[in-house]
Amino acid sequence: MSRLRYKLAAVLLAATCLAAPASAETIAITGGRVVIGDGSEPIDNGTVVIRDGRVVAAGANVAIPAGATTIDANGKWVTPGIVAGFSRIGLVEVEAVDPSNDTQANSSPFSAAIDVAPAINSQSSSIAVSRAAGVTRAIVSPATGHSIFAGQGAVIDLGGDMQPITRSRVFQFIELGEDGAGEAGGSRASAHVLLRNALREARDLRLPITGRNLPRPGPGAPPPGEARDDPYLLPGTSRSDDVLLTRFDAAALVPVLQGRQLLLVHVERASDILQVLALKREFPALRIGIVGATEGWRVADQIAAAHVPVIANALVDLPGSFEQLAATQSNVGRMRAAGITVAIGMLGDNEGHQVRLSTQYAGNLVALTRIPGATGLSWGQAFAAISSLPAEAVGMGDEIGSLRAGRRADVVVWDGDPLELSTGVDAVWIDGVRQSLENRQTRLRDRYRQPQEGALPHAYDPR
C-alpha cells in the first residue's frame, strides 16, 4: 500500500510542466532553401530568424535583425525539426533488456493513470542518435499491458539537457483492434464494453463536498498536465463497489470524457475505424485521434467528415494481420486527398529507436506520385506529415512542428534534400539552443575507422 502511495506521488510530481531553457541570442540562418513545414513547397534563398527560443520569422525577404549572429546556409536546406508522430523514444534503451524498457507495465495495478513523463530519460542513446538525424520533438506513448488503456503520453524534445518534457499528459492511448480485443479478454466487443464502462466510471466519480468546480471543457481550459492537484483524488469521496477501475485510473479518464485530453485510439481495420468514429456520437465531448488506420483509405470520407486526425504508418503494404488486409502504401496519400489531417508515425515499427526513419518514409510517399494507380504526397505535404501535422494531430501545431512565427525554435540545417537518402544533418537547434550531434554511434565509428589495433588496444582510442 505504501508502494502505491509512493507511485501516486511520483506521478503527480512529474505532471509538472518544466520550462525548456531558451537561448537569448538572435540567430539568422541565411541563404538556404527554407522549408516552413506547413505543407508549402520550399523557398529558395530564404532566411530563418530565431530569438529567445522562438521563431521570429522565416521565408523570403525576411529582414535580419541588427546584432544577429548570422549563419550562412547557402546550398543547404533549413527546416523545422522532425516531429516523430508516434514513438516510444526515451522510454527504452535496449528493447529486449527489460529493466531498461519502460514502454509497458504488464503487472501494474494501474492503466489509464500511467503517465510516461517520469520515465522519459533525456540521456538515452536513442535520443542523441535521433537528434543527430534531425528529429527534435517526439510524441511518446506508453504501450498497453493488461488493459486496453495504455496511459497518458507526452510530447518531448530531443535536446541534450535534462528537461525533455514539452507537455505531459497530452493524450490517453488505447487499443480497440486486435490488440485491444486480446487485452479485453478476447473480443473487440469486450474492448468496447470496457471502454464505455471506464468512461462511465469516470463520469460517476463524485467530487468531495469540499471539491472545487470542475474545470470547464473547451479550448480555454488548462491542459490536463498542468493540473497540480486533481479534485477527484482528494480524500473523503466514496465510490460504488461496482467498479472495475481504480479511482486513480477513473480520475485519469475524466479529462478524456470532458474533451480536455485527446483520446488516441489504435485501430487498423476499416470497420474498427468506423466504430471509433461512432464513439463521438455517443460521447460528444470526446476529442479523438486515430493511430494506425492501415485501412483508413477505405473509409477516408467518414474520417474526414468526423474531423478526426490520423497518425499512420507510412509504408505498411502487407496484410500483416487480418485487420490490415487492405494495406497499401497509398493509404496516407488517399487519406490526405480526402481531406484528413494525416501524420506519419512509427507504431510497432522500432518506435523506440528508429524515429529517424521518418524522413525516408516521407520521401517514399513522394516516390508514389510517379507510380500509375498509386497516390502519394507532394514534397511539401510529405514534409508536413513529419513536422507540422503530427503536432497538429495532438493539438500542438501552434507550438511546434513548423517555422511559422512564434513556434519553438527547433531548426535543422541539412546538406541537401532532407527526405533524400544521401542527405546528412549539419546543425540542429532545439528551443533555440544549438545541439551536439555526437553520440555512441559516432564515437564507435571514429574508434574503429581502422579495425586493427595500434600500439595500444582500442580501449585507449580516441585519445
Partner 1 sequence: MGRRLTAAGIAAAVLLLGCANQSAPESASAPAATSGTRPARYVPPDDPYPSTYRPYGGVPTAITGATIYDGEGGRIENGTVVMVDGRITAVGGADTPIPDGATRIDGRGRWVTPGVIDVHSHLGDYPSPGVQAHSDGNEATGPVRSEVWAEHSVWPQDPGFSRALANGGITTLQVLPGSANLFGGRGVTLRNVPGRTVQSMRFPGAPRGLKMACGENPKRVYGSRNQMPQTRMGNIALMRQTWQRAVEYRERRARDPNTARDFQLDTLVEVLEGRMLVHNHCYRADEMALMLDMGREFGFRISAFHHAVEAYKVADLLRESGTCAAMWSDWWGFKMEAYDAVNENIPLVHNANACAIVHSDDANGIQRLNQEAAKALADGRRMGINIPDEVAWRWLAINPAHALGIEDQTGSLRVGKRADVVMWNGNPFSVYTRPQQVWIDGALLYDMSNPRLRPVSDFELGQPGEGDVK
* Binding residues for partner 1 (CB under 8 A): 92-97, 125-126, 129, 270, 295, 298, 315-322, 324-330, 350, 352-354, 356, 360, 363-364, 366-367, 370-374, 419-424, 440-442, 444-445, 448-449, 451-452
* Least distance in angstroms from the C-beta of 427 to partner 1: 14
* Least distance in angstroms from the C-beta of 58 to partner 1: 25
311 vs 314, beta carbon nearer partner 1: 314
* Least distance in angstroms from the C-beta of 403 to partner 1: 23
In this structure, the dihedral spanned by the alpha carbons of residues 431, 434, 440 and 441, taken in order and rounded to 10 degrees, is 100
60 vs 444, beta carbon nearer partner 1: 444
* Least distance in angstroms from the C-beta of 1 to partner 1: 33
Single-letter amino acid code for the residue at 335: M
Number of residues that this document lists for the chain:
463
Secondary structure string (H, E, C) spanning 277-345:
HHHHHHCCCCCEEEEECCCHHHHHHHHHHCCCCEEEECCCCCCCCCCCCCCCCCHHHHHHHCCCCEEEE
The answer to whether the beta carbons of residues 142 and 180 sit under 8 Å apart is no
Report which of 78, 92, 73 is spatially closest to residue 138, judged by C-alpha positions.
92
* Least distance in angstroms from the C-beta of 272 to partner 1: 13
C-alpha dist (Å) from residue 151 to 105, 147, 156, 247, 255:
10, 10, 16, 14, 13
392 vs 426, beta carbon nearer partner 1: 426
70 vs 101, beta carbon nearer partner 1: 101
10 vs 444, beta carbon nearer partner 1: 444
HSE-up (13 A, CA, CB side) for residue 429:
32
249 vs 272, beta carbon nearer partner 1: 272
* Least distance in angstroms from the C-beta of 327 to partner 1: 7
* Least distance in angstroms from the C-beta of 97 to partner 1: 6
257 vs 355, beta carbon nearer partner 1: 355
Cell of 194: 470496457
- Bridge-based pairing of strands 82-87 and 149-157 is unpaired
In whole angstroms, give the CA distance from residue 33 to residue 60.
10
- Cis ω for the linkage preceding 462 (within 30 of 0): yes
